[in-house]
Structure 1
Amino acid sequence: TMSSEVFSYESLVHAVSGAMGSVTAMTVFFPLDTARLRLQVDDNRKAKSTPAILAEIIKEEGLLAPYRGWFPVICSLCCSNFVYFYCFHSLKAGWLKGQKSTPGSDLIIGIAAGVVNVLVTTPLWVVNTRLKLQGSKFRNADIRSTNYSGILDAFVQIIRDEGVGALWNGTFPSLLLVMNPAIQFMIYEGLKRQLRRGVPRELSSLEVFIIGAVAKAVATTVTYPLQTIQSILRFGQFNESTDKSKLLSSLRTIKCLLVNRARRFGMLGLFKGLEAKLLQTVLTAALMFLLYEKIASCTFRVMGLKNSHYKNR
């Protein structure tokens, strides 16, 4: 039954493996994410390359500045990947019921898992974006400083000063961005099937690393302009329109931010920070998939579920 698929040990193993893999990988490449976020949000910053911006941050804000906001990001990432991997694998098991998966089914399941993930975890990502940028030295004078003492205090202050709805800032672009992990998983699972060519075998570490990197590179490049808008909205420094319709307001805000950015910096401005994002996200995703596969296959082997880990995938 569907309920037994949703509450299965297999889904739990995938979820824990995905969460552990992503947390480890993000910790290793965290400074690259700091550089990417600063490039997206701080329009007036002159440094264009990742090494230059990291050198600037360390010089102005100290050696540990590239790791500012690490704890809330790791908490958010752990919850987010747990929810995503759990939903993806339980929905997949429930839908396929022993059939082979296809790129189309992987994409649809990925989108469904992404929607659940966005609605559940957006407040955590809003808080972690604020904490990650708090205390930064911005070139843009219009950015207001914040004073949060931690995750809980950030929640309290945002609800008190901006209302509960502010915790879901950037939800609409985030819902559009469920295409990112959906495309990523579709390409990843598809490449995995190609490499196996019908033989249920464990892929080598290098194979997993490469297909994880390729899948993430494609997904990130396709959806990057929306990711920039998402970061700006989560930061909460943009004055949104006051239309009665939330959906119309969100669409108008996204269009306005995209058009303004294109006018100010040209079409390439929509991809500002892409180099830092690609470097960080591709390496992180590749390492995350590698760790995820190793942790999952090791756990399944211990549990005696080795064959079911590979069939239908």
Structure 2
Amino acid sequence: NMSFEILSFEALVHAVSGAMGSVTAMTVFFPLDTARLRLQVDEKRRASSTPAILAEIIKEEGLLAPYRGWFPVICSLCCSNFVYFYCFHSLKASWLKGRQSAPRTDLLVGIVAGVINVLVTAPLWVVNTRLKLQGSKFHNTDIQPTNYRGIWDALGQISRDEGVWALWSGTFPSLLLVLNPAIQFVIYEGLKRQLRNGVTRELAAFEVFMIGAVAKAVATTVTYPLQTIQSVLRFGQFNKSTSKSTLMSGLMTIRCLLVNRVRKFGMLGLFKGLEAKLLQTVLTAALMFLLYEKIASCTFRVMGLSSHHKHSR
């Protein structure tokens, strides 16, 4: 019964475990995400390495500056991972109905779960990007300062001043970027099956950490140029295309931003901030997957559910 699978307790456990794991991991490595976002958005900043930009931010803005915008990011991440993990595992259970999973299934389910997640949580990520950059000392003097008092105030101001659809800024590249978690889950699930080698067993902490890191590193490097454009669009300070078609406007905007970045910085400009992003995202994803597996496993054990639920992922 598909409705039973979608509303199942197992999917809820995976969703809560994924949300808790991601929030904890992001909190630990949050300054690296701050460095990545500054490198993507503040084009005139000279510092190019993660330690250098973090030292610069602390010197210019204070010791707690690398944690600016922590609360909205954590709220967005918690909601986003809950939606993604819930959709991924409930849809996968409905699709497979007890059969063995395959990379093609993981990729398709990952893409569908990603699309649902993007459409539901996009406004939170737009607000999160604005709040995270608010009060920053930019080296690019063209950037206009904003004054949001929090998540709800930002949602209200953006809707009123820029229109409701501005809350979905960057959604087009985000929809293309559903390939990121989809690729990540395909590699993660595939490596997990290889390590188990047909035997139903719980993977060691080190194994989970390493396959989580490898999966995220590949997915991030492949999709990074689009992630940079996504950050610029969410920040909202760019010249919009006047094309009437939303699809054409989205495509033209992405193309223009990519071309302009290549003209200014060369091909490597598309990967500006990749070092910080890889450090943050790989370590965060590895720790998140480790915590997620352990929380889900412990929950199933405490609830007295069979090992089938733990290893059917």
Q: Which of the five TM-score ranges fits, normalised by the shorter chain? A: over 0.9
CA distance in 2, matches of 1:145, 1:111: 36
TM (norm. structure 2) is 0.99
**Contact 2:11–2:86 at 8 Å: present in 1 too?**
yes
Indicate the residue corresponding to 1:263 in structure 2: 263
Question: Would you say how many aligned residue pairs link Structure 1 and Structure 2?
Answer: 313
TM (norm. structure 1) is 0.99
How large is the RMSD of aligned CA atoms in angstroms?
0.6
Q: Aligned to 1:233, what secondary structure does the other structure show?
A: helix
Q: Aligned to 2:200, what secondary structure does the other structure show?
A: coil
Indicate the residue corresponding to 2:203 in structure 1: 203
Q: Aligned to 2:277, what secondary structure does the other structure show?
A: helix
**Contact 2:15–2:83 at 8 Å: present in 1 too?**
yes
How big is the shift at 1:304? 1.6
Q: Gaps spanning 5+ residues in structure 1: where?
A: none
Indicate the residue corresponding to 1:67 in structure 2: 67
Residues 291-306 of structure 1 correspond to what in structure 2 (within 5 A)? 291-306=291-306
CA distance in 1, matches of 2:160, 2:306: 50
Percent pairwise identity: 82
How big is the shift at 1:38? 0.1
CA distance in 2, matches of 1:306, 1:126: 41
Please list the CA deviations of residues 116-146 of structure 1 after superposition, one character each: whole Å capped at 9, or x if unmatched: 0000000000000000000000010110000
Q: Aligned to 1:212, what secondary structure does the other structure show?
A: helix
Please list the CA deviations of residues 4-58 of structure 1 after superposition, one character each: whole Å capped at 9, or x if unmatched: 0000000000000000000000000000000000000000000000000000000
CA distance in 2, matches of 1:310, 1:18: 14
CA distance in 1, matches of 2:311, 2:275: 37
Which contiguous aligned blocks of 4+ residues in structure 1 show a shift greater than 6 angstroms? none
Aligned amino acid, residue 115 of structure 2: V
**Contact 2:202–2:311 at 8 Å: present in 1 too?**
no
Q: Does 2:263 align with 1:273?
A: no
Indicate the residue corresponding to 1:222 in structure 2: 222
How big is the shift at 1:263? 1.0
Please list the CA deviations of residues 67-120 of structure 1 after superposition, one character each: whole Å capped at 9, or x if unmatched: 000000000000000000000000000000111000110000000000000000
CA distance in 1, matches of 2:47, 2:309: 46
Aligned amino acid, residue 65 of structure 2: A
**Contact 1:297–1:306 at 8 Å: present in 2 too?**
no
Indicate the residue corresponding to 1:82 in structure 2: 82
Indicate the residue corresponding to 1:10 in structure 2: 10
How big is the shift at 1:312? 3.6
Please list the CA deviations of residues 130-188 of structure 1 after superposition, one character each: whole Å capped at 9, or x if unmatched: 00000000010110000001111101110110000000000000000000000000000
**Contact 2:300–2:310 at 8 Å: present in 1 too?**
no
How big is the shift at 1:239? 1.5
